[in-house]
């Protein structure tokens, strides 16, 4: 079995590691525009060999794990090059633009649109880790547009690396994910910005910041190369969530200006049920 990973970073590399463990006889090929990443991935054992697009005709699996703006360009080309029996999937955090990019392609049925909700704030081949997907959710869009046999092949891989499968239409995916992922990243980046701008003397941050600050700004370590195109492709939904977030923050500020601390107490108390929501999340993992 030949597995091609286009983009040997955190997600592509982690799938490669798990796929190799599951199929020791499989050969993992890496394709990446960054030659240094390719060499690093080979050295780390994330891939067996570097390859090029011309080799894709030999692929059984193609995993497209590149920033979402690159994905919409690369995917039609990949579909042009593969054999009839190959299955291609992407892992991007936006689904509508990606599904649109391949909608009319003659090999559309060889593609399955996926979003594994997994990751860390790190990037590149050295960020790839075994078991990243264990207990995580993989959201699959437009499953009915993929050949049944190839669906099965992809789903087997996802299940074997430990993922729960959820089906969703691309627009619903993009709408919900703006709330539970894209907005978190912006809130974290802007929190980091606010503090860095103020605290020119970083020593003050070092000394006074605790684990709470660390937790809320963790996502501000994320890759701008990955996130800029996500915000661009999901512009409408992201702006909507951002407006609601800003409005809630402004209302909180108004309550403080009006010394309405009873209302502030109740605001916080009603959000406290995020505890049960998060516990429910973890219970399922």
Interaction residues for a copy of itself, span 250-269 (CB under 8 A)? 250, 252-253, 256-257, 259, 261, 264-269
Count, residues near a copy of itself per rule CB under 8 A: 94
Nearer to a copy of itself, 86 or 174 (CB): 174
Among 48, 55, 60, 199, binds a copy of itself (CB under 8 A): 199
Regarding 272 and contact with a copy of itself (CB under 8 A), the answer is yes
**Burial class of 189 by CB neighbour count within 10 A (0 to 12, 13 to 18, 19+):** middle
Q: Which is nearer to a copy of itself, 147 or 181 (CB)?
A: 181
Binding letters toward a copy of itself, positions 201-240, x by CB under 8 A:
-x-xxxxxxxxxxxxxxxxxxx-xx-xxx-xx--x--xx-
* Residue 2 interacts with a copy of itself (CB under 8 A): yes or no: no
Q: Does residue number 169 form part of the binding site for a copy of itself (CB under 8 A)? A: no
Q: How far is the CB of 130 from a copy of itself (least distance, A)?
A: 16
Site string for a copy of itself, 103-132 (x = CB under 8 A): --------------xxxxx-----------
Choice from 44, 81, 127, 190 touching a copy of itself (CB under 8 A): 190
Beta pairing partners, 28: 3
| Residues 132-151 close enough to bind a copy of itself by CB under 8 A | 136-137, 139
Kindly tell me which of 52 and 211 has the beta carbon lying closer to a copy of itself: 211
List beta partners, residue 3.
28, 61
d(CA 139, CA 158): 11
Indicate whether 200 belongs to the interface with a copy of itself (CB under 8 A).
no
């Amino acid at each position: 079995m030949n597995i091609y990973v286009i983009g040997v970073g955190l997600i592509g590399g982690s799938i490669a590691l798990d796929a190799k463990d599951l199929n020791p006889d499989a050969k993992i090929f890496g394709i990446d525009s960054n030659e240094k990443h390719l060499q690093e991935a080979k050295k780390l054992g994330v891939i067996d060999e570097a390859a090029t697009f011309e080799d894709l005709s030999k692929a059984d699996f193609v995993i497209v794990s590149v920033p979402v703006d690159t994905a919409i360009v690369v995917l039609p080309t990949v579909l042009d090059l593969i054999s009839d029996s190959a299955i291609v999937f992407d892992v991007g955090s936006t689904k509508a633009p990606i599904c649109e990019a391949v909608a009319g392609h003659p090999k559309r049925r060889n593609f399955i649109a996926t979003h594994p909700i997994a990751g860390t704030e790190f990037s590149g081949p050295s960020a790839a880790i075994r078991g990243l997907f264990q207990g995580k959710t993989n959201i699959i869009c437009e499953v009915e547009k993929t050949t049944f046999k190839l669906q099965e092949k992809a789903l087997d891989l996802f299940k074997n690396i430990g993922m729960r499968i959820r089906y969703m239409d691309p627009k619903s995916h993009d709408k919900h994910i703006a709330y539970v992922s894209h907005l978190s990243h912006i809130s974290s980046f802007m929190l980091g910005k606010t503090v860095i701008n103020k605290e020119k003397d970083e020593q003050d941050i070092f000394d006074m910041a605790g684990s709470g600050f660390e937790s809320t700004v963790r996502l501000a370590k994320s890759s701008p190369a990955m996130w800029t195109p996500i915000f661009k492709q999901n512009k409408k939904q992201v702006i909507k969530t951002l407006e609601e977030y800003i409005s809630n923050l402004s209302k909180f500020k108004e309550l403080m200006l009006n010394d309405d601390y009873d209302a502030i107490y109740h605001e916080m108390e009603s959000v406290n049920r995020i505890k049960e929501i998060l516990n429910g999340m973890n219970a399922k993992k």
